[in-house]
Chains A and B, each alone.
Chain A
Amino acid sequence: MSSPAPALAHGQRQIAVVRLADASQAVAVLSLAFALSLVFSPVWFPAMIVRSWQHGQLMPTMMAFTLLLDTYLYLRVAYLQSARPKPVAAVCLGSLPLLVIAGLSLVLQSAVSHTLSAGLPNPQGRIGEEIVAQTYLGLVCSVFLPFLVIRLLQQFKAGNTA
């Protein structure tokens, strides 16, 4: 097989390689911001989350936020490596945050039903705390899991080509 022309070979850029550290830094900052919000506004911040869930605005907001954050992180990695984004990674980043949050929305509905049917004291307070906890876990999952999937796919592909 003939080798590529020098001009073409020079023009080809390598594909961006994602490491979990890229996403984990962002999730850590997100977690610390969430922790500080809970500590310094223990009433207003959870009440805002619960109110937006009751109005049906929480999940669309989370979807938009995580989609933008994931896209920014991936494009930043590609820019720092001077590499081109990979189509499979773009599909993962475009679909997984939406799927994760849609799935977690069902889990949250199930948790709320479970709390209401258990007949425990102070159900409103418990449901509020469940919503806050699952909002946080949903944010973490929808940012971290797409990068974990991309990383594992890259490892799998590297193992097959080696």
Chain B
Amino acid sequence: MVSGATLKWLIWISLYVIPVVLLPWAISRAWVHQHRRELPLQPHQLFQRGELGLPSLILASSVIWNLLQSQFTPQTVALGSVILGVSGTMAVTVWVETYCRQASGSDSRPERAWRDSRSLALLVFSMAAVMEILLDRFARVGGR
């Protein structure tokens, strides 16, 4: 049985997907329309430098903040914070590495940066979803 309280994390998490993926896509389309240019606007072209890693770290930070506010034991809070922080940092590292490769003129592979950042962003997103569900469950158990 799925309750409304259990599904509220879905709305919460979608608040991150809209500005991360849809907003840049919509703005770039508006720019193309305004300047009458032809530009590749597929997600793998728009985020080919690993930019998805940046919002991943923001998402991880916000879940860590929620975790710190919760009534979980310090052991669970520490464990969740560390693994979320490491995942978010590794997602950002893809963008940093791609920038360094491009800036230094060394071997740059946009398709690999897109694949890595997409996989790590999906990892952070799915972990954030599970942690929000667990926080929601724990808040209800702790409130009894």
State whether A122 touches B141 (Cβ < 8 A).
Answer: yes
Question: A111-B73, A114-B73 known; A24 and B80 CB under 8 Å?
Answer: no
Chain B residues near A (Cβ < 8 Å): 1-3, 6-7, 71-76, 79-80, 83, 86-87, 90, 112, 115-116, 118-120, 122-123, 125-127, 129-130, 133-134, 137-138, 141-142, 144
User: Contacts A110-B75, A129-B141, A137-B76 given: A21-B120 contact, CB under 8 Å?
Assistant: yes
- Choose among B1, B73, B74 the residue that contacts A42 (Cβ–Cβ < 8 A): B1
Q: State which of B3, B72, B115, B138 has its C-beta within 8 Å of the C-beta of A21.
A: B115
Taking CB as reference atom, which chain B residue is nearest A24? Answer: B123
Report whether over half of chain B's contact residues are helix, strand or loop; otherwise say mixed: helix
What is the number of residues of chain A that contact chain B, defined by CB distance less than 8 Å? 42
Closest 3 CB pairs of A and B: A31-B126, A21-B119, A125-B141
Taking CB atoms, residues of chain B closer than 8 Å to A115 are 73
Give 1 or 0 for each of A34-57: 1 = CB within 8 Å of chain B CB: 110011101000100000000000
Residues of B within 8 A of A126 (CB): 71, 138, 141-142
Question: Which residues of chain B are near A39, meaning CB under 8 Å?
Answer: 2, 6-7, 133
Q: How far is the CA of A24 from the CA of B129 in the complex (A)?
A: 15
Chain A residues closer than 8 Å to B3, beta-carbon distance: 42
